[in-house]
Structure 1
């Protein structure tokens, strides 16, 4: 605990002593070794999807705890590979990204179709793959904030991925298209027995609170 306090620094007291007074803890589903049967079995997820969830939750150093640590590396498209990997050139090689996740004891590795597809035959059976199927790109000027599909659910399934992931920019001009697009993709992923992960960010200059611009703070 002393190490945790040291890492949190001047925020330790605020973060560790906070008591939530709006949501009773009895209403929460806490992480546990039985997360799938306690939370997901009662849902409409089919049995292959439940198996995929269990594989993700059961892998790595946190396996069987209900907690999940996933290594996400999709910056090669989001911010260009040069900007992302130049400080550590070995990560231009997709194999090193997956090896890092394995050596770190992660539950899974999340990356692009290209990165994971390049090494799927060697590693998909060694660590759960999460294929991010949509991405933003920051090469256009002025920058736009629009997640666009870069891969298909079928491609992720064929490489042995346990899950697909996607991002939606809530509040952006394109958010309604993103919502319907990803809802359809996730429905198809469940039909094929894959779990799904959604990453959500606010992208709208009008969203401000206490002087904080949540358009930019979402990163």
Structure 2
């Protein structure tokens, strides 16, 4: 690994542990709670302990003044929930554009098993080659999604994360299989750092217990969006999640540190 790639991975992590908060949902879902006042949300979650935030290129200027020195990732493909097929992620930017808007890394979403897998696979392979020429890390969001696929099946998730490694990604994000025991297979399927998606917002207890299970399985952290940026107190929930990832606290200890009620 060259020095540039290593140094940029360090900007989006702490001691090779990752708390990334993706906020690219403005394209997918629209200006939902937590994204209208993006500036305040970025400030809160980075004060709470997030290592990096992730958006599309157009909102970079709203991110940089408020990220408190933390890392920044630009996402490079997207779709909408009101379009013909949400799995059909289309390119929205390039590595060069991401560099110009101050990104420390780029990310790309691939739905393994979908009708769009072949094109997305080709694009991810090309993206990693381009990014590495500039020393830019690639976060592959590799999901098992398609006809007849269980999106939490550990075998399918293991295939997805291994595909990301084979195509040259540096970090891989995927869905959580539901428990630490089954997720160990996913983590063992690749040598890449594995981070999980958070999905829609649940209770505080559910969120931190999921993170605890992820870390117990040997994962490197989370890339958790709505569970954090749509929380009533984004700073506090980021602090709780950070306490599990970076301080190795239990779920209960993390909630206590963040002064969060478990069932809210």
TM-score, L = length of structure 1: 0.63
Match of 1:107 in 2: 51
From the superposition, tell whether residues 152 and 195 of structure 1 become closer, same or farther in structure 2 (CA, over 3 Å). same
1:120-131 aligned within 5 A: 120=64, 122-123=65-66, 126-131=69-74
Distance in 1 between residues matched to 2:11 and 2:125, nearest whole Å:
23
Distance in 1 between residues matched to 2:151 and 2:109, nearest whole Å:
23
The number of equivalent residue pairs is: 156
Q: Please report how far the alpha carbon of residue 159 of structure 1 lies from its aligned counterpart in structure 2 after TM superposition.
A: 1.9
Distance in 2 between residues matched to 1:55 and 1:144, nearest whole Å:
31
CA contact (8 A) 1:46 1:191 kept: no
Question: RCO (CA 8 Å, sep 6+): is it higher in 1 or 2?
Answer: 2
Moved over 6 A (4+): none
Q: Please report how far the alpha carbon of residue 208 of structure 1 lies from its aligned counterpart in structure 2 after TM superposition.
A: 4.5
- Correspondence 1:73 to 2:23: yes
Q: Which has the larger radius of gyration?
A: 1
Q: In the TM superposition, what whole-angstrom CA distance separates every residue of 1:66-104 from its partner, at most 9, and x where no partner exists?
A: 3211111111111222xx22xx5xx31332232123211
Q: What 5-or-longer segments of structure 2 have no aligned partner?
A: 157-174, 176-198, 200-264
Among residues 139, 145, 153, which one is paired with 2:95 in the alignment? 153
Match of 1:95 in 2: 39
Distance in 2 between residues matched to 1:119 and 1:157, nearest whole Å:
14
CA contact (8 A) 2:110 2:143 kept: yes
Match of 2:136 in 1: 194
Q: What 5-or-longer segments of structure 1 have no aligned partner?
A: 1-44, 58-62
- Correspondence 1:116 to 2:60: yes
Among residues 135, 146, 163, which one is paired with 1:204 in the alignment? 146
